[in-house]
Amino acid sequence: MRVHIYTGSLRLVNKSGVGQAANHQHAALQSAGVEVVSCWKPRADAVHINTVLPCSVLAALRARARGEKVVWYGHSTELDFRHSFVGSDVLAPLFRRWLCFCYNLADLVVTPTPYSAEILRSYGLHPPVKVLSNGVDTQFFAPSPARRAAFRQRYAIADADKVVISVGHFMQRKGILDFLALARKFPQVQFLWFGYTDPLLVPRHIRRAMQKAPANVRFPGFLTQAQLRDAYCGADAFLFCSHEETEGIVVLEALACGTPTLVRDIPVYRGWLQDGVNVHKAADTAALGCKLAALLQNRLPDTVEAGRKTALQRDLTVIGSELVKLYAL
């Protein structure tokens, strides 16, 4: 079997979860013995499309004309487009119509959680919508005392100091305002937000909030996968305040690294993340603050082992095997 992962627009999203998901597809398929290509020759059995840009539409039309199966990954919904980039709230209804146009060009839509599948099915899409996690490389993302030490040395953090991290674009949807609010409540704790967004795409109120961030907050920028792995291993907590997700690859990475993880209690996590079992959850910013205080003081149940098990269930080798099965649909 040969699968073509369309890369024509991936360079534009290589610092996002969509770009990482495409990398995961490549590794997962190779683990299942599938030949993976990124060009149109020779002919492939299926073409994966991960973005919803105009060139992706052209790629889908080209694949269909060649008799190749189009597998479109449903990473986006109208809900997770809102409260993101400049103008996103105004454009959200049009974005939903565009999503439907794109996804309806597919033979199969794959989306990572039952929650996102429910949303996409509510759009009345013509192709079947199937659920398959984006997965995580649990051999690469794994607990390591040595990586913890490397991270703390790089950022001049004493071993006894408490460190809370988050990862993502500078978006209101990702919870960056909540992250800053919580940092103010814990001045003795160091807060680091990893990621990068072009300033032209960041709404003004987010830029201003970041400029007024308290002294215990740092924005080191975009990290390589190896550097990000060190950060997970070196943190005392991974705090993910996101208001809307289709899965959250960074959550899987944190769990794989054995990082105690605290997330906002939103619908996407229902059924696979359980409060006090493999993660900790809280409904709003105030509750997140209470849970974070208890987590840093070791007053909450230990979720590390169960969190790692959750990641292992979504290892790329598992995803590769499941993906091959989907091609038969």
**Predicted local distance difference test score (pLDDT) of residue 14:** 76
238 CB-near residues (< 8 Å, 6+ apart): 164, 165, 166, 167, 232, 250, 251, 254, 259, 260, 261, 262
Domains 2-135+315-326 and 145-312 share a fold: yes
Residue 89 is inside which H or E element, if any?
helix 88-103
CB environment 281-311: b (16+ within 10 A), e (fewer): bbeebeebbebbeebbeeebeebbebbbebb
Residue 167 is inside which H or E element, if any?
strand 163-167
Mean pLDDT by 10 residues, the chain (329 residues): 92 83 96 96 95 96 97 95 90 95 98 98 97 98 98 96 97 97 98 96 96 98 96 98 97 98 98 98 98 98 98 98 91
**Predicted local distance difference test score (pLDDT) of residue 329:** 72
Structure tokens at 236: 């005392």
Domain boundaries, the chain: 2-135+315-326, 145-312
DSSP 8-state symbol, 10:
G
Q: Does domain 145-312 have CATH number 1.10.3720.10?
A: no
**Half-sphere exposure of residue 130: CA atoms within 13 angstroms, side-chain side:** 19
How far apart CA 85 and CA 152 sit, in angstroms, is: 32
Q: Tokens 């996804």 identify what position?
A: 103
Taking residue 159's Cβ as centre, other Cβ atoms within 10 Å add up to 9
Q: Tokens 């309806």 identify what position?
A: 104
Residue 320 is inside which H or E element, if any?
helix 316-326
What pTM was estimated for this model as a whole? 0.95
Q: Of all residues in the chain, what percent carry a pLDDT higher than 90?
A: 93
**Predicted local distance difference test score (pLDDT) of residue 9:** 80
How far apart CA 179 and CA 177 sit, in angstroms, is: 5
Class of domain 2-135+315-326: alpha beta
How far apart CA 162 and CA 158 sit, in angstroms, is: 9
Tens of pLDDT, residue by residue over 201-237, are 999 999 999 999 999 999 999 999 999 999 999 999 9
**Predicted local distance difference test score (pLDDT) of residue 206:** 97
